[in-house]
């Protein structure tokens, strides 16, 4: 809502912990109505300190949501802003590998997003990375998780984290520290404003139209938020509009381990929303000294949050200083390595999806377990990392969900269901890989005419083949659906992979299955797989 560092003064923290020199990083967030820059330092203990923030208005959302493309004039406005940011980053001496430049819904949905990204790269050297909705959910969770953990009341409650942006609304539900639901809805403050303009809505009808649009989104979201089990719901608002509200209305703030939540009583918020909705954009600019683009979207954003609060039955809204840049810096601090806790959140999301499609959960979990053991045992063959292990386990959990549709070609149904579902924390590329690994868990090997496999780049095609090969062996080991094989050892002997299994006398079922499906492993790794009984 404001330019420079003034926006975060209410939430500012500082201090010097005396650790070795930190690594300086930067995040550029190309949003619907502004381009924001955050510069921070990552200390040796993994903590992050924000050094500087800048905000400059742009009209990306207006272009994308009305024209479906970004105009030449707006592109050049973005170039000018980003060139100025480049000068700032050069003055800090921040290298390109320590800069992450992302685009949200206005960039992601623009028909000319590729030419937009190319123009930005040519003019500034910044590589714009469109952030898809699943990635936004992941980054939001990474950013807000420290705040939730630091406050016992929130850590044990149902925390409903909502960010009403210009183009979309992000809803993240965390129950007892675990992600229960996440989704991004195409309802944003700028979209609402443009809906009113496209309908030429009379002023006295604007609120009615907005409430109708907002409630349609709320009806969908609230289906996934169980408020009847006695677990208290706490509403946490993210975003510049609500940090602005906090500066106007804050009654109390709780310092939670360096992260500040500002409490806004609902009734004071309600009166403020009524005041804002009664003013024109020009009057809002004069009254609150905000930019005109911010004034246009302030009312719709606040009304959406008010409706959400009323439907949840809360008496106070907690406003957090956390934003998308914070989560992205958390990712940079971890260097893309998922923590055990975050990995479990992703796995839980897959388990819930499997339950939705009535899969055999016991078998699926055991195959995932065997897949992980095989992955570890075959590290010298596949040379993949821990993130790929998680991808394999996700595919194992979901490889049979296509049976919900029918037995015939169910592997293709599994692929379809995965691709058309959301798994918390996974980008579209990662979801595609999970879907393709599940698709190839049966007999047929990938072929050039298979889509979307043929459209993947070589690195991803090879990855799918490696993981699907391992998954096939894991499935064969539980061909009896009895979970009787729980341990094994792997050794390469005379150009063959020998899987030695103790304590099982009859391996005929497993051997038949492996003869039917093991060809892909031999094609990928250059050796057949044999099962062998071994003594304990």
Of 241 and 225, which is predicted with more confidence? 241
Verify that 292 and 162 share a domain, yes or no.
Answer: yes
Mean pLDDT of 154-174: 91
* Residues 252 and 303 grouped into a single domain: yes
Q: What percent of the chain has pLDDT above 90?
A: 74
Q: Is residue 330 part of a domain?
A: no
Tell me the pairing of strands 99-103 and 23-30: parallel
| Diameter of the chain measured on Cα atoms | 83
Q: In which band, very low, low, confident or very high, does the pLDDT at 13 lie, cut at 50, 70 and 90?
A: very low
Residue 194 maps to a domain: yes
Digit-coded pLDDT (tens) for 428-456: 999 999 999 999 999 889 988 898 999 99
Q: Do 320 and 466 sit in the same domain of this protein?
A: no
Please give the pLDDT value at position 154: 84
Identify whether 157 is part of a domain. Answer: yes
> Which of 134-138, 253-257, 320-324, 340-344 has the weakest average pLDDT?
253-257
Beta strands in 176-315 (DSSP E): 178-185, 233-238, 252-256, 259-265
The confidence score (pLDDT) of residue 459 equals 96
Percent of the chain that is helix, strand, coil (3-state, to 5): 55, 20, 30
Distances in Å between the Cα of 84 and the Cα atoms of 54, 79, 103, 292, 456 are: 10, 9, 18, 22, 36
Using DSSP's 3-state secondary structure scheme, residue 519 falls into helix
Confidence class for position 381, pLDDT limits 50, 70, 90: very high
Confidence of residue 536 (pLDDT cuts 50, 70, 90): low
Residues 123 and 138 in one domain: no
CATH assignment at residue 101: 3.30.420.40
Same domain, residue pair 360 and 446: yes
- Give residue-wise pLDDT tens across range 408-425: 999 999 999 999 998 998
User: Does residue 358 surpass a pLDDT of 50?
Assistant: yes
Q: How many domains are contained in the chain?
A: 3
Structure tokens, 116: 């937009």
Contact by Cβ (8 Å): 132, 208: no
* Mean pLDDT of all residues belonging to the chain: 90
- Mean pLDDT across 213-229: 85
Lowest-confidence region among 15-24, 295-304, 321-330, 418-427 = 15-24
End-of-domain residue from the set 132, 165, 191:
132
pLDDT level of residue 253 (50, 70, 90 thresholds)? very low
Q: What is the pLDDT of residue 227?
A: 64
How far is 483 from 305, CA to CA, in rounded Å?
48
Q: Decide if 189 contacts 245 (C-beta within 8 A).
A: no
Please indicate, yes or no, whether residues 347 and 412 belong to a single structural domain of this protein: yes
- Of 21, 14, 81, nearest to 52 by C-alpha is 14
User: Are 501 and 367 found together in one domain?
Assistant: yes
Using CA atoms, how far residue 118 sits from 1, 33, 112, in Å, is 28, 20, 10
Burial level of 137, CB count in 10 A (0-12/13-18/19+)? buried
CATH number of the structural domain spanning residue 275: 3.30.420.150
398, part of any domain = yes
Q: Judge whether 219 lies within some domain.
A: yes
Residues 227 and 277 both lie in one domain = yes
The DSSP symbol for 7 reads G
pLDDT-derived band at 5, boundaries 50, 70, 90: very low
- Predicted pLDDT at 334: 86
What is the structure's pLDDT at 198? 87
Tell me the two tokens of residue 171: 């809803």
Residue 314 resides in a domain? yes
Please work out, in degrees rounded to the nearest 5, the angle formed at the alpha carbon of residue 130 by the alpha carbons of 298 and 303: 15
- What per-residue confidence (pLDDT) applies to 19? 54
pLDDT of 118 > 90? The answer is yes
Residues 127 and 151 in one domain: no
Report the CATH number that the domain containing residue 481 is assigned in CATH.
1.10.3210.10
Answer with the one of 73, 108, 132 that is the final residue of a domain.
132
Same domain, 26 and 108: yes
Q: Are residues 97 and 219 in the same domain?
A: no
Q: How far apart are the C-alpha atoms of 116 and 128, rounded to whole Å?
A: 9
Same domain, 263 and 120: no
Does residue 331 sit within a domain? no
Residue 9 has pLDDT above 50, yes or no: no
Domain boundary among 286, 302, 324: 324
Question: Is the CB of residue 491 less than 8 Å from the CB of residue 527?
Answer: no
pLDDT at 458 over 90: yes
- Give the range of the structural domain holding residue 402, as residue numbers without chain letter: 337-534
Confidence of residue 251 (pLDDT cuts 50, 70, 90): low
Residue 481 lies in a domain: yes
Q: Tell me the average pLDDT across 346-365.
A: 96
């Amino acid at each position: 809502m404001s330019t420079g560092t003034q926006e975060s003064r209410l939430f500012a923290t500082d201090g010097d912990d005396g650790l070795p020199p930190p690594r300086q990083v930067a995040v550029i967030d190309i949003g619907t109505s502004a381009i924001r820059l955050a510069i921070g330092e990552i200390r040796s203990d993994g903590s992050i300190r924000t050094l500087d923030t800048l905000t400059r208005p742009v009209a990306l959302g207006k272009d994308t949501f009305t024209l479906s493309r970004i105009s030449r004039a707006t592109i050049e406005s973005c170039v000018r802003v980003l060139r100025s940011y480049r000068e700032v980053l050069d003055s800090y001496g921040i290298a390109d590998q320590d800069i992450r430049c992302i685009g949200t819904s206005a960039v992601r949905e623009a028909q000319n997003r590729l030419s937009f990204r190319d123009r930005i790269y040519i003019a500034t050297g910044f590589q714009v990375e469109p952030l898809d909705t699943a990635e936004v959910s992941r980054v939001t969770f990474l950013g807000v998780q420290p705040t939730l953990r630091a406050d016992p009341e929130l850590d044990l409650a149902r925390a409903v984290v909502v960010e009403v942006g210009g183009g979309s609304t992000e809803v993240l539900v965390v129950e007892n520290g675990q992600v229960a639901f996440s989704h991004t809805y195409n309802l944003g403050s700028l979209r609402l404003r443009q809906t009113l303009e496209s309908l030429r809505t009379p002023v006295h009808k604007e609120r009615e139209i907005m409430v109708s649009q907002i409630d349609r989104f709320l009806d969908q979201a609230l289906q996934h938020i169980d408020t009847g089990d006695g677990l208290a719901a706490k509403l946490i608002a993210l975003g510049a509009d609500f940090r602005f509200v906090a500066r106007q209305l804050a009654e109390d703030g709780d310092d939670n381990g360096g992260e500040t939540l500002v409490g806004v009583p609902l009734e004071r918020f309600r009166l403020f929303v009524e005041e804002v909705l009664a003013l024109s954009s020009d009057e809002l600019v004069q009254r609150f000294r905000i930019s005109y683009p911010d004034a246009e979207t302030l009312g719709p954003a606040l009304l959406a949050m008010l409706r959400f609060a009323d439907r949840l039955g809360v008496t106070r809204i907690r406003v957090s200083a956390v934003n998308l840049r914070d989560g992205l810096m958390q990712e940079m601090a971890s260097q893309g390595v998922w923590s055990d806790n975050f990995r479990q959140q992703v796995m839980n999301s897959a388990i819930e999806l499997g339950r939705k499609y009535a899969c055999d959960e016991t078998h699926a979990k055991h195959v995932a377990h065997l897949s992980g053991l095989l992955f570890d045992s075959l590290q010298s063959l596949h040379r993949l990392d821990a993130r790929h292990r998680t991808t394999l386990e996700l595919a194992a959990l979901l490889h049979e969900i296509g049976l919900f549709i029918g037995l015939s070609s169910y592997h293709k149904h599994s692929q379809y269901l995965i691709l058309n579902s959301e798994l918390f924390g996974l980008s579209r590329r990662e979801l595609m890989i999970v879907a393709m690994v599940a698709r190839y868990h049966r007999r047929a090997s990938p072929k050039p005419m298979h889509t979307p496999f043929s459209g993947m780049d070589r690195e991803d095609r090879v990855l799918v083949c490696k993981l699907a090969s391992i998954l096939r062996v894991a499935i064969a080991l539980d061909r009896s659906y009895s979970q009787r094989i729980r341990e094994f050892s792997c050794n390469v002997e005379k150009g063959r992979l020998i899987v030695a299994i103790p304590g099982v006398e009859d391996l005929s079922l497993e051997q038949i299955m492996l003869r039917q499906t093991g060809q892909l492993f031999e094609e990928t790794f250059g050796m057949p797989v044999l099962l062998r009984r071994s003594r304990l």
